[in-house]
Amino acid sequence: MKRVAFACVFLCLFAKTVFSQDRPVELKLSSWVPPKSIVGQIIDGWIKAVEEKTQGKVKITHYGGATLGAFSDHYNMVITRQADIVLSGGHATVMPRYSVSALPFLYKSAEQASYVHWQLMEKYMKDTELKNVKALFVISTPPDQLLTNRRGVKTL
């Protein structure tokens, strides 16, 4: 009985020593956007806010400009633990319901689009397409026109 009590006390003291270390949690964030872009600056601002709120206990390194992988690789980078956090675009093969967000002319503003996309994820995707990951935030772009690289669009 004394051995069990000693072992418990030892484990408690050991655990306290390990968990009270001042080493911060270090996370890798990968994005495909250039670091100097608007979205890259938003990400860096978010990282700074996280580090301030955690009083330096969480450190996030941003690997921008597709440094760790191409746009299409980012979802799998989290699954394979190549990165802890990624900026992921709509991956129709992994998240087919989210591809509705890519349709043109649905939203009047980026704020409205972000709100609708978040609601879509919470209501329909959290237990399906997103069951292996955790969405932290949504960044939607302002409404765009149809973009083509070969010929102009004259009618819809």
Cβ neighbors of 86 (< 8 A, separation 6 or more) are 29, 30, 31, 74, 75, 77, 78
Residue 59: what pLDDT?
97
Q: Which two tokens stand for residue 66?
A: 């597709």
Cβ–Cβ under 8 Å, residues 39 and 64: no
Rounded CA gap, 70 and 132, in Å?
20
Residue 18: what pLDDT?
44
For residue 77, which of 28, 39, 137 has the smallest C-alpha distance? 28
Cβ–Cβ under 8 Å, residues 60 and 51: yes
Residue 140: what pLDDT?
76
Q: Which amino acid is at 152?
A: G
Cβ–Cβ under 8 Å, residues 62 and 44: yes
Where do the domains of the chain lie?
Answer: 22-89, 90-148
Residue 13: what pLDDT?
44
Burial class (CB in 10 A: 0-12, 13-18, 19+), 95: buried
Beta bridge partners of residue 25, listed in sequence order: 58
Residue 145: what pLDDT?
61
Residue 12: what pLDDT?
46
Residue 147: what pLDDT?
66
Rounded CA gap, 47 and 61, in Å?
8
What tens-digit pLDDT sequence spans the chain (156 residues)?
A: 444 444 444 444 444 444 556 789 999 999 999 999 988 999 999 999 999 999 999 999 999 999 999 888 888 898 999 999 998 876 667 777 777 777 777 888 888 888 988 898 889 888 888 888 888 887 777 666 666 777 777 777
What's phi and psi for 26, nearest 5 deg?
Answer: -105, 125
Residue 134: what pLDDT?
86
